[in-house]
Amino acid sequence: MSLRADADEVIARLARAPEPPLIAIDGLPCSGKSTLAERLQHAHGFDCISLDDFVRPEADSPAWRVPTFPFEYIRYAEFVAAVETLAARGECDYAPFDWETLAISGARRRVTLATPVMIEGVSSLYPALCPLYGLKIFVDSDRATILEEVARRGAGPWPGAWRTLFLPSADIYMQTGPELRADIIVRGRSAR
């Protein structure tokens, strides 16, 4: 059974780093995952690998039209490999998605376990990755408000994809019950 906590309680709990020093932060899009990760970075200096670093450029994939999990609009095998390599070797590197050019960056990003690392994004509690984490967090939210939050933030370069691709794909993943794999459930944006 998962413990329910607010973000402040999670931040206080993580004053002592988990072992192993990998922390999953999962939940629906726009639920508050990135906000929690940013607060933990600020409070404790943790590093973060975001699923958004692994977006596949739209031109590289015809699957940008069909909701699926694993997400075909994400370089999902690269994401999983980066987390697995980090856990096994204490370091990994990858080419992140560049949100200014909407292309994969030519510069690689290196991440080490010199400090705890958060793995943040929808599906970070993918069953194959769960044994690698010292702490598993699920940010609970109300799906009905996600599109309102997307509209408030601006839908980015793919406004129509939120209704037809991103949220339906997240719904497919959520059917796997990631909240059941979490150690802690944090109340997120507009949680029930």
- For residue 4, the model assigns a pLDDT of 86
> pLDDT tens across 74-127, in order?
999 999 999 999 999 999 999 999 989 989 999 999 999 999 999 999 999 999
CB 185 within 8 A of CB 179: yes
Domains in the chain, CATH or no CATH each: 3-187 (3.40.50.300)
Q: 3-class DSSP state for residue 25?
A: strand
- State the pLDDT confidence band at 165, using cuts at 50, 70 and 90: confident
Quickly tell me which residue has 């949220």 as its tokens.
167
- For residue 72, the model assigns a pLDDT of 87
- Contacts of residue 90, defined as CB under 8 A and 6 or more positions apart, other chains included, come to 112, 113
Model's pTM, two decimal places?
Answer: 0.92
- Contacts of residue 84, defined as CB under 8 A and 6 or more positions apart, other chains included, come to 129, 132
Residue 87, Cβ neighbours under 10 Å: how many? 19
CB 32 within 8 A of CB 186: yes
Q: 3-class DSSP state for residue 70?
A: coil
For residues 56 and 76, give the distance between their C-alpha atoms in angstroms, rounded to a whole number: 9
- For residue 156, the model assigns a pLDDT of 62
Task: Examine the pLDDT at 182 and tell me if it is beyond 90.
Answer: yes
Tokens of 184: 């802690």
Task: Examine the pLDDT at 191 and tell me if it is beyond 60.
Answer: no
Q: Percent of the chain scored above 70 by pLDDT?
A: 91
Q: Which residues pair with 23 in a beta bridge?
A: 118, 135
Average pLDDT, the chain: 89
Tokens of 14: 């993580």
- For residue 172, the model assigns a pLDDT of 95
Q: 3-class DSSP state for residue 49?
A: strand
- For residue 151, the model assigns a pLDDT of 67
Closest CA to 7 of 134, 189, 129, 131: 189
Dihedral, 92, 93, 94, 96 alpha carbons, nearest 10: 110
- For residue 51, the model assigns a pLDDT of 97
Least confident of 42-46, 108-112, 145-149: 145-149
